[in-house]
A = this chain, B = another copy of it.
């Protein structure tokens, strides 16, 4: 199997390149500017199906040949795409049965990308043909160093509800459940008497009354993501017959909820990701870090590739804010710090036409007399100095459990409260740890956890028995586990585990829950201070305020560290600790915020981290981001004041200065230090 890294040396730098939008004279300027900026890799041909196959079975590679030769001649490597995310107009018209149908039964129009059914056999055939032609032609081309299959699987056609999809779903169900009785049991169809007599009777979860079978809905999500994976596999396997270069596709971690990237992880030779800041967030760089850590985790800790991000504003958010000075550099280097071996952009040159013409680019509409272009050139220079980072790994002592199936299941209708939201809790915990300067991995709940000092479970509403046993084994072997409310409630079919909640975690947590008490909108509860003695009445710290949730915790082995001071569970446990085997299991029964230094998750987690022996810097502002990757320390200052970071000895790679014992990072700046051996 082809491997990684894809470039002979250094960090890959470049972006999507769409020369078909421009006259040929512009290509030559492009190559000149790419060299000026230090671009060494471009993603080519992502949307050119209609150009290379202008009519069915008629191919025209003349333009592509010229572009590839031009790039090759300039020493720029190519991430060659199959154009299968945007089928040609003729395909749609010739195969109307391939059109995407939404949950309401509406046939989705063309004029954009992704408007095909992922289960369409006509699509499978046509995409395989064009992929094969490309692989045959360019599979051994020296400039082509990797393959970029499709683009952003699941962006607009995550699930289709047409009859072709329905038939494919029924086949998938037969495979998964074997016989209809097992399906009935899994989906709990005795409720409302919805028992199926045969697989033929199953419809997709199209628009219907409230209360649709949640097992049906979850299985349709699983089926749908697997339909996309099958499309990827088909192209990948064709390419592999003609090329030994690594094959990937660009993920959208974590902003494409329907794509379960744990399922995708093993399919690609290199994990690649697209990430865009959410301009409406207060600190969008924290979500960026989370995305990068999750991407690295999906990649199994191996280096990954940032395949797309932006030099400035995007075009598809309500208000597309430009990046502030230095922000593009900070973003880029944060991705590298967290494991990316590339910095790639959408796109090389800003379009004059089409849906994304107001999306920023490496060459903006304004041209090269612009801060964006100067920053692009400077970043290219920076990255050349980071060549030594390539291939290095990031290690983490702490893991957050992230399971897309739980994400899906938690947000189906008719949960105890609409304020129960997967990302809300995941991000609160991530932010608390980020601000405490703790680097985290993300893990599937059935992963090997033995390497972690602390594992946190903020949103595992759905948790299989196998996963629960894994968590329990981790604790018994000495691990520290921290669980948030409404975790471990249902199994993989959304069936409540037997007995009191949280059925899958009662034993490891040493407690059970008598009744949920979701709070009214904007409602709060107060928690008592914590007591080292386990008697919250004699608290050593002040109280704090929870939101969203309260519940009646009944200890059965756990001891109470904080209690509810008011609300429906006043006097009952809010935060508990259970010593089990060689380890510890904590439980928190309300929602605390991730941001403030005191009175929220950070305050709760500090003693938990200490207990678990998680070492991290202290007394640093929570606006500075510190990440170790191999022998390099990345120090990213998100504040407008300089920050001095102690404990850093080595050579600052951008300016070559030595740091002895500490380094001062300028406002908004990034310092990368190659640490001395003894300082690592």
Beta-carbon contact of B21 and A190 below 8 Å: yes
Given contacts A319-B418, A355-B414, 9 further A-B contacts (CB under 8 A): A106-B207, A115-B208, A188-B354, A191-B356, A210-B355, A315-B415, A319-B416, A352-B495, A366-B515
- Interface segment out of the listed A86-94, A292-300, A301-309, A629-637: A86-94
A521 located at the interface, meaning its Cβ lies under 8 Å from any Cβ of chain B in the complex: yes
A555 located at the interface, meaning its Cβ lies under 8 Å from any Cβ of chain B in the complex: no
A514 located at the interface, meaning its Cβ lies under 8 Å from any Cβ of chain B in the complex: yes
Query: Which residue of chain B is the closest to A155 with respect to CB atoms?
Result: B209
| Contact bitstring A352-396, B, C-beta under 8 A = 1, else 0 | 111111100000111101111000000000000000000000000
Query: What B residues does A419 contact at CB under 8 A?
Result: 319
**Which residues of A come within 8 Å of B, CB atoms?**
18, 20-21, 47-51, 54-55, 83, 86, 88-90, 92-93, 104-115, 155-157, 187-197, 200-201, 203-216, 279-280, 312-313, 315-316, 318-322, 324, 351-358, 364-367, 369-372, 413-419, 493-501, 512-521, 552, 554, 568
Beta-carbon contact of A312 and B515 below 8 Å: yes
Nearest Cβ in chain B — how far from A167, in angstroms?
Answer: 14
Query: What B residues does A356 contact at CB under 8 A?
Result: 191, 211, 414
Beta-carbon contact of A191 and B93 below 8 Å: no
Beta-carbon contact of A316 and B210 below 8 Å: yes
Beta-carbon contact of A191 and B366 below 8 Å: no
Beta-carbon contact of A192 and B520 below 8 Å: no
Nearest Cβ in chain B — how far from A511, in angstroms?
Answer: 12
Query: What B residues does A521 contact at CB under 8 A?
Result: 280, 318-319
Beta-carbon contact of B190 and A51 below 8 Å: yes
Given known A112-B209, A352-B496, A496-B357, contact A190–B515 (CB-CB < 8 A): no
Given known A316-B210, A365-B501, A521-B319, contact A514–B370 (CB-CB < 8 A): yes
Beta-carbon contact of B115 and A191 below 8 Å: no
Instruction: Name which of A189, A216, A521 has the most chain B CB atoms within 10 A of its CB.
Output: A189
Query: What B residues does A215 contact at CB under 8 A?
Result: 353
Query: What B residues does A358 contact at CB under 8 A?
Result: 414-416, 516
Beta-carbon contact of B496 and A208 below 8 Å: no
Query: What B residues does A354 contact at CB under 8 A?
Result: 188, 190-192, 211, 213
Q: Pick 5 A–B contacts, CB within 8 A, sort by A.
A: A18-B191, A20-B190, A155-B209, A215-B353, A320-B417
Beta-carbon contact of A319 and B207 below 8 Å: no
Beta-carbon contact of A520 and B280 below 8 Å: yes
With the chains together, A111 CA to B206 CA distance in Å?
9
Q: Indicate which residue in B88, B206, B512, B520 contacts A195 across the interface (CB closer than 8 Å).
A: B88
Q: Indicate which residue in B109, B319, B324 contacts A568 across the interface (CB closer than 8 Å).
A: B324
Beta-carbon contact of A208 and B111 below 8 Å: yes
Query: What B residues does A208 contact at CB under 8 A?
Result: 108-112, 115
Beta-carbon contact of A519 and B205 below 8 Å: no
Beta-carbon contact of A54 and B319 below 8 Å: no
Beta-carbon contact of B366 and A211 below 8 Å: no
> 6 shortest A-B CB distances, which residue pairs?
A188-B353, A191-B354, A211-B355, A156-B209, A109-B208, A109-B206
With the chains together, A610 CA to B319 CA distance in Å?
36
Query: What B residues does A213 contact at CB under 8 A?
Result: 111-112, 354-355
Given known A111-B212, A191-B47, A210-B156, contact A517–B322 (CB-CB < 8 A): yes
Beta-carbon contact of B318 and A417 below 8 Å: yes
Given known A195-B89, A496-B357, contact A207–B108 (CB-CB < 8 A): yes
Nearest Cβ in chain B — how far from A326, in angstroms?
Answer: 13
Beta-carbon contact of A192 and B113 below 8 Å: yes
Given known A47-B192, A194-B86, contact A353–B211 (CB-CB < 8 A): no
Beta-carbon contact of A93 and B200 below 8 Å: yes
Query: What B residues does A55 contact at CB under 8 A?
Result: 197
Query: Which residue of chain B is the closest to A420 with respect to CB atoms?
Result: B319
Query: What B residues does A47 contact at CB under 8 A?
Result: 190-193
Given known A86-B193, A210-B156, A355-B214, contact A501–B316 (CB-CB < 8 A): no
Given known A191-B355, A216-B111, A352-B498, contact A416–B316 (CB-CB < 8 A): no
Query: What B residues does A49 contact at CB under 8 A?
Result: 193
Given known A111-B213, A194-B50, A521-B280, contact A500–B205 (CB-CB < 8 A): no
Beta-carbon contact of B513 and A366 below 8 Å: yes
Beta-carbon contact of B211 and A113 below 8 Å: yes
With the chains together, A162 CA to B1 CA distance in Å?
51
Query: Which residue of chain B is the closest to A503 with respect to CB atoms?
Result: B365
Beta-carbon contact of A192 and B416 below 8 Å: no
Given known A50-B194, A113-B192, contact A209–B108 (CB-CB < 8 A): yes
With the chains together, A599 CA to B3 CA distance in Å?
63
Nearest Cβ in chain B — how far from A510, in angstroms?
Answer: 16
Query: Which residue of chain B is the closest to A206 with respect to CB atoms?
Result: B109
With the chains together, A196 CA to B89 CA distance in Å?
6
Given known A110-B194, A192-B355, A280-B520, contact A500–B211 (CB-CB < 8 A): no
